Amino acid sequence: MPNIAASKKDFMALQAGIVGLPNVGKSTLFNAVSNSAKAQASNYRFCTIEPNTGLVDVPDERLDKLAGFVKPERIVPTQVAIVDIAGLVRGASKGEGLGNKFLANIREVDAIIHVIRCFEDENILRDEGPINPVGDKEIIDTELQLKDLESVEKKFSRVEKMLKTGDPKIKAEYETLKRCKDHLEQGKSIRELSLSKEERTAIADLFLLTEKSVLYVANVDEASMHTGNKFSEALKAAVAGENAQVIVMNNSIEAQISEMEDPADRELFMEEYKMTEPALSKLIRSVYKLLDLATYFTAGVQEVRAWTIHEGWKAPQAASVIHTDFEKGFIKAEVIAYKDFIQYGSEAAARDAGKLRIEGKDYVVKDGDVMHFRFNV
């Protein structure tokens, strides 16, 4: 399809924040995933003070397959933003350590990558005693819950005073806040509470920390990178009720792979460790899904490009990530399903086979669609 990337507007990359206790491997993970920024990784508390942010390419074999047919001048993957946030300590909700800054930084991200230490090493400092991934998880959960409870209670008190107005909207907001307050007081996170769209709207202004989706990274030793160990298994058991994913990986190995510029060296290194791909690739794809994102493609001789959208976006919204004019002047979208493009090998062949569809403003873009937009401004 024709190149339509000129004059594009950048999609505001959603952010996933890397969090955890000090010295669990957060900055090492950030260094591994980010090609555009490097965080200092050192063995002392609060090494990371200002959050580092890196735009990370999302691995997608579909992009390479499309390029194999189109033979473009360049290939442009889509990206997500990964933020390395300072380590949290017990009491952060009351300002201990860099607590206030840490919590403010978490509030600004869209999802959380929670790194948990699942290996023993007496040379790496640890304030919390013996290795205990479940206990470490609970420390951070508790601090975030306490901070959320503080936010909910403040608004709850304000809304409670307004009940006398008899406004049904105030009553509904009060009931939602009460549900959240009771839930947090039980030591549970808001993401575990079933809330309707209206209820979520009632608390949206609070930007609650425990409402954010979480992906757990069990940072294990080399011997456990394929099989896991008793620590990572304990973590999986602890989060089983959260409908959350746990990725087992060795952050140091991943950092070494990411530093290798020669693909052949990288391939040999992974073969030595019996890896078919870096665990980071799985992590980044998981983060992409965690943020409720989807991808569509444009494919032309100048470039084959992946574009990031929210799942459920309609065609005009999807067009806006290329340029706002595409949404304003949207007429129609030419759409070929990814599998059809690959099957027939080109836009022309797919068109001849009747696989190119013309869709209007109400079309919900599917993950993997190959698209071209007609617009007039």
Answer for the pair 48, 84: CB distance below 8 angstroms, yes or no: yes
Q: Note the helical H segments in the chain.
A: 26-33, 61-70, 99-108, 133-161, 168-185, 197-203, 230-238, 251-259, 263-272, 279-290, 315-320, 324-328, 338-344, 347-352
Label residue 347 exposed, middle or buried (CB < 10 Å: 0-12, 13-18, 19+): buried
pLDDT per position as a tens digit, 134-187: 999 999 999 899 989 999 999 999 999 999 888 999 999 999 999 999 999 999
> What pLDDT does residue 88 have?
62
Binding site, annotated residues for ATP: 23-28
Pick from 28, 29, 36: nearest CA to 53? 36
Q: Return the bridge partners of 336, or none.
A: 356, 370
Tokens of 222: 């080399």
Checking if the pLDDT of 33 tops 70, the result is: yes
Checking if the pLDDT of 91 tops 70, the result is: no
> What pLDDT does residue 352 have?
97
- Assign 3-class secondary structure to 305-345: EEEEEECCCEHHHHHHCCCHHHHHCEEEEEEECHHHHHHHC
pLDDT per position as a tens digit, 233-243: 999 999 988 87
Label residue 97 exposed, middle or buried (CB < 10 Å: 0-12, 13-18, 19+): middle
Choice among 1-15, 64-78, 155-169 with the minimum mean pLDDT: 1-15
Please tell me the distance from the alpha carbon of residue 141 to that of residue 52, in angstroms, as a whole number. 22
Domains and CATH numbers, the chain: 15-129+213-290 (3.40.50.300), 141-210 (1.10.150.300), 312-375 (3.10.20.30)
Mean pLDDT of all residues belonging to the chain: 86
Looking up tokens 């933020």 gives 83
Residue 71 CA: distances (Å) to CA of 67, 74, 326, 346: 5, 8, 25, 11
Checking if the pLDDT of 3 tops 50, the result is: no
Binding site, annotated residues: 23-28
> What pLDDT does residue 6 have?
33
Pick from 291, 267, 281, 249: nearest CA to 64? 281
> What pLDDT does residue 45 have?
35
Please tell me the distance from the alpha carbon of residue 311 to that of residue 158, in angstroms, as a whole number. 35
Residue 175 CA: distances (Å) to CA of 90, 163, 180: 31, 11, 9
Which of the two residues, 290 and 351, has the higher pLDDT score? Answer: 351
> What pLDDT does residue 95 have?
53
> What pLDDT does residue 201 have?
93
pLDDT band at 258 (very low <50, low <70, confident <90, very high): confident
